[in-house]
Amino acid sequence: MVLSTVLQAQTSVPTDGRAFGRGLVILKSGERLNAEGLVLTRDTLMFRADATGGVRAHAVSDIEYATRIQTRTVAGALWGGGTMLLLGLAALLQVEADPALEAKDNAGAIIAGFTAGGAVIGAIVGSNIRHETRIIQAGREVVSANTSLFPAPAGRGLSMRVGVALRFPAH
């Protein structure tokens, strides 16, 4: 028990810096590494290399390029499930509003099934949408400020606000 705890402590990446999850690291020597558990401290990037499984630590100045890789699985599941839920509820309201139509007793189960199916399809689509964020470029940490395009209240209706993304190497 004690031995396994000591071995685990030696192979885990510390969490006293900023954690970025999965990513890609390219060293100035040209070595390209798929990485898990990226942690950036003040002047060091630590991670577990996929090929070896061991923890590696490199000075930021020794790294040519490092990115965090994320997928949109959760967002896809939420969009797919939410869309199907709204469509199902809208159809149910339409049926209830029409006196010539009658909703089946299992309408709730049907809507739940379509919602679950939409969530699964959305998750599959989202898992194939990959987003990379630069962490280090040319031996320097990349500082970023991001906003996105989203609806914003504007008087009587909605307007769209456009976001700005600034990315520059920190000194």
Note the pLDDT of residue 3: 35
Note the pLDDT of residue 6: 34
Note the pLDDT of residue 9: 38
Is residue 58 a contact partner of residue 47, using CB atoms and an 8 Å limit?
A: no
Note the pLDDT of residue 133: 82
Name which of 73, 67, 74, 109 is nearest 92 in CA terms: 109
Mean pLDDT of successive 10-residue stretches along the chain, which has 171 residues: 36 60 88 88 85 83 88 92 94 84 83 94 92 80 57 52 55 51
